[in-house]
Structure 1
Amino acid sequence: MKYRVPCCLLFVSLFAAQVGAAQDREFTVGVSGSMLVPTSALSKRFVAAPGGSLFFFVNRGTPQWGAAFEYVKFSKLADNLSVSRPITDTVGGVPQKTFYQIPLPKLAMSLEMFGASVQARYDAVRFGDLLVNIGFGAGIYRWTFKRNEYRDSLRVQTLRGVRTAAVLNVPALQQQDWSGGLNAGIDLVFRIADPVSVTGGARYKIIIGELWPTLALDLESVSTFQMLDLRAGISVDF
């Protein structure tokens, strides 16, 4: 298993070298890995997650048009997920209400997405073998959100000892839908050995989906899935 990826890359490179005799290559195909960093409301639920994509372009005209097939799954939760609950203590005969931030160690959520998008890119500037492109895209994505049920008694240390701040009995939740999305950013292409290039770049991506709030867990709604897509990969021209 551990030798399959290097062998596949070697095969692609050798095959590309044979095909790459022609000077005018009309097509580019490639694969890239991404680190997708949630922003805005989505960052309050998840941290960065790896993803991947397959892409191709037709190298004719301006802009150059192509397509991409993408996948990502967010499952690692943000560190600050907690609930705020008040407890009233009597100090010197005077009631005092104190709010406690209580972590949710049993909480599990995931957001899985895959989709296809139409891509366009403009050649912006070239520095030797490095080409900088401005890229745009629009696509459709299938996404699934899952949250486990949460049943627990939340206890905190107060002036009068350990007390129960809340008893949670929250059912599980699953959402699934198709949503449109947009992305824009900078793509980098560095030719390492004709016709093979190393690719990279950063795009800001918005998918128009909605995650419902769960008030019992202090989870606010997420009206759009916004993220920064940092990517690196390899491409071959034909």
Structure 2
Amino acid sequence: MLVLLCAGFVSLSSAQTGVGLTISPRGLYAIPVGSLADRLVPTGGVKLGIGARLDENWTWEGTFEATRFMKGNKDQLYFPDLQVTLELYGAGVQASYYPFGAEGILAGKVHPFMTGGLSVYRWLARRGAHATDSTGAVVVPGLVQQDWSLGFRGGAGIEFLPIERVGIFGQVTYGVVVGELWPALALHLENTSGFQTVEGSVGLRVYLPSKLF
């Protein structure tokens, strides 16, 4: 992914023509991976990209996203009714590289691409108070954690252009946010270091003429 981003910066500095505005709203489905999956179940989210198509191969976008994991994984939690949540709100930059350029495949209607990005996240994690025995005599207090963290994401996708300047795309990416959820031994919760997810997303990408940019 770092190679992809560095190559994009070279393209950004050398691009002279063909710059046009892009707008790409999308919906996503985030699946927790690793120790995060022991706490939370998959959830939906939203993402918006606003950027530029620099040339036939490169698109750069600023991105804004929100993903809220509001349900605990009852199959993995020692106490299935324990309330655990994680909210992620991010802003960053994403580069997409189209190896076949404007020609694409299948008469120019289908365009595979690779993508990678870097974001800054504001995250908020909550763990509810919970009794550790049936009598309720011992109660572990609730906990709220919040912080700012960097996140990285990379993957691949495919874009279909049914009409000029409008693309329908889907992509699958793996990402990690550099955050930490503290353990609670009395609740049989282990430390979670790094919020890893696999995301599938579907959206529209609208290409506005370069004269408007």
TM-score (norm 1): 0.73
For 2:67, the equivalent position in structure 1 comes to: 72
Correspondent of 2:165 among 195, 220, 229: 195
Correspondent of 2:139 among 169, 193, 198: 169
Q: How does 1:137-216 map to 2 (within 5 A)?
A: 137-151=117-131, 153-154=133-134, 168-216=138-186
Consecutive unaligned residues in structure 2, runs of 5 or more = 1-17, 209-213
For 2:112, the equivalent position in structure 1 comes to: 132
Distance 1:130 1:57 in 2: 21
Structure 1 residue 53 displacement after superposition: 0.3
Q: Which amino acid aligns with 1:145?
A: A
What SS does the corresponding residue of 1:230 show, helix, strand or coil? strand
Consecutive unaligned residues in structure 1, runs of 5 or more = 1-23, 84-103, 155-163
What SS does the corresponding residue of 1:121 show, helix, strand or coil? strand
For 2:22, the equivalent position in structure 1 comes to: 28
For 1:119, the equivalent position in structure 2 comes to: 94
Structure-2 change in CA distance of 1:60 and 1:28 (3 Å): same
Higher strand share: 1
Which one has a bigger Cα radius of gyration? 1
TM-score (norm 2): 0.81
Structure 1 residue 151 displacement after superposition: 2.3
Structure 1 residue 153 displacement after superposition: 2.5
Correspondent of 1:110 among 67, 70, 85: 85
Structure-2 change in CA distance of 1:209 and 1:80 (3 Å): same
1:55 maps onto 2:49 in alignment = yes
> Is residue 168–residue 216 contact of structure 1 (8 Å, CA) maintained in 2?
no
> Relative to structure 2, which stretch is displaced further, 28-37 or 120-129?
120-129
Structure 1 residue 236 displacement after superposition: 0.8
Distance 1:208 1:105 in 2: 26
Structure 1 residue 25 displacement after superposition: 6.6
What SS does the corresponding residue of 1:79 show, helix, strand or coil? coil
Structure 1 residue 152 displacement after superposition: 5.3
Q: Aligned residues, how many?
A: 185
Task: Provide the aligned C-alpha RMSD in A.
Answer: 1.8
**Percentage identity across aligned positions?**
31
For 1:161, the equivalent position in structure 2 comes to: none
> Is residue 39–residue 77 contact of structure 2 (8 Å, CA) maintained in 1?
no
Q: Which amino acid aligns with 1:172?
A: G
Distance 2:77 2:176 in 1: 26
Q: Which amino acid aligns with 1:66?
A: E
Distance 1:133 1:105 in 2: 41
